[in-house]
């Protein structure tokens, strides 16, 4: 038996056979067959790869979610980038490289440039360039682009690309163990969305020598056990059975009220970033959608979405929730989220820059389109609107003025909307928590975004692994700010929710409820477990 510790990337435990997967590498010895012939090979393989990536986008959007599907769309866009094609052409024409070598070089040089950019969003795109390029090389070499095990396995690899993960038959993928990787990389995020355990940074233990062996993969504690002995295997099997039983028993909470033992009613809502998430929220019996992140409607496109496209997406969410509340957040891009067509200027400190409502207020037409779409969707369910990244009273006043303008337009056009639509703001800057009493007089509710509140309070970039030890959403400074916002909300008669990741932390539920928090909004898969936790509290 061999036990290796890595980094936990997705929770759960599983025992299965390991399947080692190695990406196809370019055939270096293939002779150069002339520039025009090599370029024609490249273009044909690239077009085939783009077609495959768009197919994967559709598969991911149905099976996992829009956010994950966007990864493949981005890969397809990168392959069609003019600079990328020019880089391949230069290697073919000037250095007489065969197409697969030229693509491998372009991949290295583009991904190295992105990784060195110092920008978290662009650095993360380095893996996407490699993924998309590996697909082109695979097509050129007639090689494999996805693992093809003949039964259910724990997939073992140096590193996995998101497309390799999504291409696999999901019923055969029981867990992921990689020698490299990172818990914040897309593959780890995909594993969490798919609900399968993953452990990364395992070093050579997750290598070829693991192939075909019995393994235990413990995604809760970040452990890979090769050839477990009977005791280890038995313990893993009983933990897996307990987890399955817990999951099944949570189903009994469906349809019940969320009351503490003391009788207090608490709303447990779900966060969603796509219609697939809205369906998952319903499947987990969420009381509503506490945060509909609308940015993916923008990031997955290469142009601005139209009012009709936004409206039909918001309306679908409102109708699916059939009367349960849907809190739609206005666009929160900037910082790590951008798309080329948005034309956002490079900023030295993007998290402190022109993001979220700051961007929307500086682009009235962009803002107005969203506001009109949200108002129109409010006629089809119980919709509320929420503004992110509020720091000042002026921010809120300007947002409300813009909303009034959109209302007046629709009224003049005879278009219906809910006249009682609730308006709220996110409390995710320390400033907003500190002046919460002033903000409370302007809106109907607060929702605390602890993901950002922690990064701004503790001066620790939420994406920077080097300062991860500073980034603690339960830090006393963050908790005190939440307490201040909750007091201001209660004094003014507002409801207050928490929609950052802290909302799902069972060790903080009692404290948050004691502060007066009325609603907790968590990922759909955490809804039932949180409901169980609330029922244990006095």
Residue nearest to Mg ion (CB): 452
Query: CA-CA distance, 351 to 365, in Å (whole number)?
Result: 23
In whole angstroms, the minimum distance from the beta carbon of 478 to Mg ion comes to 13
x/- track of binding to Mg ion for residues 345-384 (CB under 5 A):
----------------------------------------
**Interface with ligand PEP includes 222 (CB under 6 A)?**
no
In whole angstroms, the minimum distance from the beta carbon of 522 to ligand PEP comes to 10
Distance between the two ends of the chain, CA-based, in angstroms?
45
x/- track of binding to Mg ion for residues 416-445 (CB under 5 A):
------------x-----------------
**Interface with ligand PEP includes 451 (CB under 6 A)?**
yes
Nearer to ligand PEP, 75 or 449 (CB): 449
Alpha helices in 18-144 (DSSP H): 35-63, 66-79, 82-95, 99-115, 120-141
x/- track of binding to ligand PEP for residues 389-428 (CB under 6 A):
---------------------------------------x
Burial zone of 119 (CB within 10 Å; 0-12 exposed, 13-18 middle, 19+ buried): middle
**Interface with ligand PEP includes 512 (CB under 6 A)?**
no
Q: Are 315 and 376 in contact (CB under 8 A)?
A: yes
500: partner contacted, choices ligand PEP, Mg ion, none (Cβ within 5-8 A by kind):
ligand PEP
DSSP-assigned states of every residue in 328-392 = EEPP--BTTB--GGG-PPP-SSGGGSS-THHHHHH-HHHHHHHHHHHHHHGGGSEEEEEE-S--S
In whole angstroms, the minimum distance from the beta carbon of 8 to Mg ion comes to 24
Query: CA-CA distance, 325 to 390, in Å (whole number)?
Result: 22
**Interface with ligand PEP includes 338 (CB under 6 A)?**
no
294-to-93, 201, 305, 396, 397 alpha-carbon distances in Å:
44, 33, 11, 19, 22
In whole angstroms, the minimum distance from the beta carbon of 20 to ligand PEP comes to 36
Beta strands 288-292 and 422-427 are unpaired
**Interface with ligand PEP includes 293 (CB under 6 A)?**
yes
522: partner contacted, choices ligand PEP, Mg ion, none (Cβ within 5-8 A by kind):
none
In whole angstroms, the minimum distance from the beta carbon of 448 to ligand PEP comes to 7
- Quickly tell me which residue has 């993969």 as its tokens: 217
**Interface with Mg ion includes 183 (CB under 5 A)?**
no
DSSP-assigned states of every residue in 433-445 = HHTHHHHHTT-SE
**Interface with ligand PEP includes 357 (CB under 6 A)?**
no
Q: Which of 198, 188, 54, 60 has the alpha carbon at shortest distance from 132?
A: 54
Q: How many CA atoms, within 13 angstroms, populate the side-chain half-sphere of residue 359?
A: 25
**Interface with ligand PEP includes 520 (CB under 6 A)?**
no
**Interface with Mg ion includes 290 (CB under 5 A)?**
no
**Interface with ligand PEP includes 334 (CB under 6 A)?**
no
**Interface with ligand PEP includes 450 (CB under 6 A)?**
yes
**Interface with Mg ion includes 334 (CB under 5 A)?**
no
**Interface with ligand PEP includes 331 (CB under 6 A)?**
no
Query: CA-CA distance, 358 to 415, in Å (whole number)?
Result: 28
**Interface with ligand PEP includes 449 (CB under 6 A)?**
yes
Residues 218-257 that bind Mg ion (CB under 5 A): none
x/- track of binding to Mg ion for residues 440-469 (CB under 5 A):
---------x--x-----------------
Token code pair at residue 89: 């052409």
450: partner contacted, choices ligand PEP, Mg ion, none (Cβ within 5-8 A by kind):
ligand PEP
- Quickly tell me which residue has 């929307």 as its tokens: 360
Interface with ligand PEP: number of residues (CB under 6 A): 10
Give the catalytic positions in this structure. 186, 499
Query: CA-CA distance, 396 to 424, in Å (whole number)?
Result: 9
Nearer to Mg ion, 149 or 449 (CB): 449
Q: Are 250 and 234 in contact (CB under 8 A)?
A: no
Query: CA-CA distance, 128 to 131, in Å (whole number)?
Result: 5
**Interface with ligand PEP includes 312 (CB under 6 A)?**
no
In the complex, which residues of this chain contact ligand PEP (CB under 6 A)? 291, 293, 332, 428, 449-452, 499-500
Residues that bind Mg ion (CB under 5 A): 428, 449, 452
């Amino acid at each position: 038996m061999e036990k290796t510790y890595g980094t936990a990337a997705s929770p759960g435990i599983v025992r299965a056979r390991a399947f080692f997967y190695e990406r196809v590498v370019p055939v270096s010895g293939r002779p150069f067959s002339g520039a025009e012939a090599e370029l024609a090979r490249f273009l044909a393989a690239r077009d085939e790869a783009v077609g495959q990536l768009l197919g994967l986008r559709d598969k991911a959007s149905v099976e996992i979610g829009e956010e994950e599907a966007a990864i493949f769309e981005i890969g397809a866009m990168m392959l069609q980038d003019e600079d990328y094609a020019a880089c391949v052409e230069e290697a073919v024409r000037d250095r007489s490289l065969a197409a697969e070598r030229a693509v491998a070089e372009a991949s290295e040089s583009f991904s190295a440039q992105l990784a060195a950019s110092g920008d978290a969003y662009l650095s993360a795109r380095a893996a996407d360039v490699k993924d998309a390029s590996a697909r082109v090389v695979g097509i050129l070499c007639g090689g494999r682009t996805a693992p093809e095990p003949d039964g259910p396995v724990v997939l073992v690899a140096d590193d996995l690309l998101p497309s390799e993960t999504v291409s696999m038959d999901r019923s055969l993928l029981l867990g992921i163990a990689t020698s490299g990787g990172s818990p914040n990389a897309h593959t780890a995020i995909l594993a969490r969305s798919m609900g399968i355990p993953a452990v990364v940074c395992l070093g050579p233990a997750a290598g070829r020598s693991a192939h075909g062996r019995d393994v235990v993969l413990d995604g809760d504690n970040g452990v890979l056990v090769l050839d477990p002995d009977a005791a280890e295997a038995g313990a893993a099997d009983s933990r897996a059975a307990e987890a399955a039983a817990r999951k099944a028993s949570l189903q009994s909470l469906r349809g019940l009220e969320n009351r503490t033992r003391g009788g207090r009613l608490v709303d447990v809502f779900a966060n969603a970033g796509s219609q697939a998430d809205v369906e998952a929220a319903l499947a987990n019996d969420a009381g509503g959608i506490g945060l509909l992140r609308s940015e993916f409607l923008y990031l997955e496109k290469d142009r601005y979405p139209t009012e009709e496209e936004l409206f039909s997406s918001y309306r679908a969410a409102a109708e699916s929730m059939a009367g349960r509340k849907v809190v739609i957040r206005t666009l929160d891009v900037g910082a790590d989220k951008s798309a080329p067509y948005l034309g956002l200027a490079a900023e030295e400190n993007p998290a402190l820059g022109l993001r979220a409502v700051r961007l929307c207020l500086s682009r009235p037409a962009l803002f107005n389109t969203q506001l009109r779409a949200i108002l129109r969707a409010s006629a089809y369910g119980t919709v509320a609107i929420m503004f992110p990244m509020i720091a000042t009273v002026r921010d809120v006043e300007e947002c409300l003025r813009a909303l009034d303008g959109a209302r007046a337009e629709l009224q003049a056009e005879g278009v219906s909307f809910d006249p009682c639509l609730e308006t709220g703001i996110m409390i995710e800057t320390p400033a907003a928590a500190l002046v919460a009493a002033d903000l409370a007089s302007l809106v109907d509710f607060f929702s605390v975004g602890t993901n950002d509140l922690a990064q701004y309070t503790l001066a620790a970039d939420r994406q920077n692994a080097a300062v991860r030890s500073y980034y603690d959403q339960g830090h006393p400074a963050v908790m005190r700010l939440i307490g201040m916002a909750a007091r201001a909300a209660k004094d003014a008669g507002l409801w207050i929710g928490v929609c950052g990741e802290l909302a799902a932390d069972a060790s903080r539920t009692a404290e948050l409820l004691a502060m007066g928090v009325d609603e907790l909004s968590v990922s759909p898969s955490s809804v039932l477990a949180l409901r169980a936790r609330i029922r244990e509290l006095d």
